[in-house]
Structure 1
Amino acid sequence: MTRARPRHAPAGTPFREEPLTEHLVDPRAPRELTAFVAGLPKAELHVHHVGSASPRIVSELAARHPDSKVPADPGALAEYFTFTDFAHFIEVYLSVVDLIRTPEDVRLLTYEVARDLARQRVRYAELTITPFSSTRRGIDERAFMEAIEDARKAAEAEFGTVLRWCFDIPGEAGLEAAEETTRLATDDRLRPEGLVSFGLGGPEIGVPRPQFKPYFDRAIAAGLHSVPHAGETTGPETVWDALTHLRAERIGHGTSSARDPELLAHLAEHRIPLEVCPTSNIATRAVATLEEHPIREFVRAGVVVTVNSDDPPMFGTDLDNEYAVAARLLDLDERGLAELAKNAVEASFLDAAGKARITGEIETYTAQWLAR
């Protein structure tokens, strides 16, 4: 169905204060569907650690580190977090990374991200973390691991949200970052208990995927799953490279896959899920408008689609809102949204018992909702 561009879609959307969903609901979205999404148990597979920092946390961190160019005034963040293109987004993103300077900063951020996920009934999340960005700024690597693990355990105990980690290589930092990230991910003396996967993020243009093959080979040999970003701001050849050279089990974004029917058929046949982040793609101008987003083509081709929020406060969204966007683009009712939620659970790296538990929660919730 055709929709006008929603108010959150333009590139350049400000941070929003909690609770997120109250501010993000499209006024044209059916109220009942919005309420259903708010209570739906969900899994999130593509969400970034620093990119999930809430306005309150960013302001607090900026006040702790006044030499940063990030404004401590929440009101000024609206202008600061206005992105002209993907390269500018990366520049701004790295300025927020620079606010994470101590293990206490790491622990605070991680715990508060879990709190925001729990508010949205996210029962399981694979949080993408870039340890190189912190260790190169002087945070002791062991203290970093202890901070994220302490926050993970506290969040599960207090909120019931299960967190797992994806360590990703910041592609713009090159092979030095690849070597360091791989070492941190595969050294049994450092590797955190919650680590399940290995990724590659950052800019794609000028950062060819094949050069990272030796590092992914080492991570896979150590038992980690391969989940690189690919095809977000480059063509489908980048997705093919991620599949061929990095042995990707899921693809982060994969937006340009729609331009290659052979690639879509391959993804569908081999059940390789795409981690789709609609609002992010608009905010970074990877896609011009929501009406042009290829999620419909993915579904029509039989590709497994999961919906995710990427860097939610930076893009003025959250996972609830991304489900509402998917409902509009795919014309989904409650049953369709429940199936979308189950896609994410099935595509996750949670153990079989955990998958069964959350799938059961989704089915029970949906049945009770429809019975009303």
Structure 2
Amino acid sequence: MEQLNHIIRNMPKIELHCHLEGAFTLDFLLSRIHKYEPESKIRDLETLRKQFVFRDFDHFIRSWIWKNRYFRTADDFRDSTYYAIEALVKQNIIALEAFFSPWDFEEWGPGPEAIIEATLEGKEAAEKDFGIPVNLIADIVRNHGHDTAKARLKQLYPYKNRIC
């Protein structure tokens, strides 16, 4: 079994369905928790890791919403994107298609345009530093209706040559 694990770890892989908002590294999230909530009970990676052992779907959703509040600045999105891609490269991912949802963070984040710009900055820096091609796919989300989808497409239009 160890030989098979070694082969799988070392084989080149292509990741075709990755959501950047879920691919953050725990080290990165812990640094944001310490930055934004210095008195948080989450002091180490082991405690944080337990937060992401989901008991059920409701716990998954609560944890998702909880972690979103630590993505507050453009730098947070840029850095999270960069570190997520770096972590994937360490798993021998040689090409990546990644979804991202700049509208999921409107309550805490800097706004969709700033998130788009920052995500592109992180992606492009990672491509340069790690030699991995990354295609970004904006998740327009079908359950918000066609008017919302059209408005989001308008926001994405200036980036049409940089986002799939």
Class of the TM-score when normalised by the shorter of the 2 chains: 0.7 to 0.9
Supply the AA of the counterpart residue of 2:144: L
The equivalent position to 2:2 in structure 1, one of 28, 31, 47, is 31
Supply the AA of the counterpart residue of 1:184: R
How far residue 107 of structure 1 moved from its aligned partner, in angstroms, is 0.4
Supply the AA of the counterpart residue of 1:94: I
Q: Which residue of 1 aligns with 2:45?
A: 74
Assess if the C-alpha contact under 8 Å between 2:140 and 2:152 holds in 1. no
Q: What is the aligned-residue identity percentage?
A: 23
Task: Work out the CA distance in 1 between the residues paired with 2:20 and 2:106.
Answer: 15
How far residue 40 of structure 1 moved from its aligned partner, in angstroms, is 1.5
Task: Work out the CA distance in 2 between the residues paired with 1:186 and 1:138.
Answer: 20
Per-residue CA distance 1:65-89 (angstroms, 9 max, x = gap): 1089782422211332231211210
Show structure 1 runs of 5+ residues with no match.
1-29, 197-372
Supply the AA of the counterpart residue of 1:129: F
Q: Which residue of 1 aligns with 2:73?
A: 102
Q: Which residue of 1 aligns with 2:108?
A: 137
Q: Which residue of 1 aligns with 2:54?
A: 83
Assess if the C-alpha contact under 8 Å between 1:126 and 1:163 holds in 2. yes
Assess if the C-alpha contact under 8 Å between 2:103 and 2:111 holds in 1. no
Task: Rate the CA distance shift 1:37–1:106 in 2: closer, same or farther, 3 A.
Answer: same
Show structure 2 runs of 5+ residues with no match.
none
How far residue 190 of structure 1 moved from its aligned partner, in angstroms, is 3.6
Is 1:183 the counterpart of 2:154? The answer is no
Supply the AA of the counterpart residue of 2:18: V
Task: Work out the CA distance in 1 between the residues paired with 2:49 and 2:76.
Answer: 22
Per-residue CA distance 1:150-184 (angstroms, 9 max, x = gap): 1111111111111112222457xx527x7545533
Secondary structure of 1:71 counterpart: coil
Scaled by the length of structure 2, the TM-score of the pair is 0.84
Secondary structure of 1:124 counterpart: strand
Q: Which residue of 2 aligns with 1:194?
A: 162
Matches within 5 A, 1:301-320: none
Task: Work out the CA distance in 1 between the residues paired with 2:158 and 2:41.
Answer: 31
Per-residue CA distance 1:49-77 (angstroms, 9 max, x = gap): 12111121110011121089782422211
Assess if the C-alpha contact under 8 Å between 2:15 and 2:96 holds in 1. yes
Instruction: Report the more deviating stretch, 73-82 or 89-98.
Output: 73-82
Is 1:165 the counterpart of 2:148? The answer is no
The equivalent position to 2:18 in structure 1, one of 20, 29, 47, is 47
Q: Which residue of 1 aligns with 2:118?
A: 147
Assess if the C-alpha contact under 8 Å between 1:58 and 1:72 holds in 2. no
Q: Which residue of 2 aligns with 1:125?
A: 96
Task: Work out the CA distance in 2 between the residues paired with 1:182 and 1:166.
Answer: 16
Secondary structure of 2:159 counterpart: coil
Task: Work out the CA distance in 2 between the residues paired with 1:180 and 1:34.
Answer: 44
How far residue 147 of structure 1 moved from its aligned partner, in angstroms, is 0.9
Higher relative contact order (CA closer than 8 Å, sequence separation 6+): 2
How far residue 123 of structure 1 moved from its aligned partner, in angstroms, is 1.3
Task: Work out the CA distance in 1 between the residues paired with 2:41 and 2:140.
Answer: 24
Secondary structure of 2:110 counterpart: coil
Answer with 1 or 2: which has the greater Rg: 1
RMSD over aligned CA atoms reads 2.6
Scaled by the length of structure 1, the TM-score of the pair is 0.40
Instruction: Report the more deviating stretch, 73-82 or 57-66.
Output: 73-82
Per-residue CA distance 1:70-125 (angstroms, 9 max, x = gap): 82422211332231211210110111111111000000100000101111121111
Supply the AA of the counterpart residue of 2:163: L
Task: Work out the CA distance in 1 between the residues paired with 2:48 and 2:156.
Answer: 40
Task: Work out the CA distance in 1 between the residues paired with 2:9 and 2:110.
Answer: 37
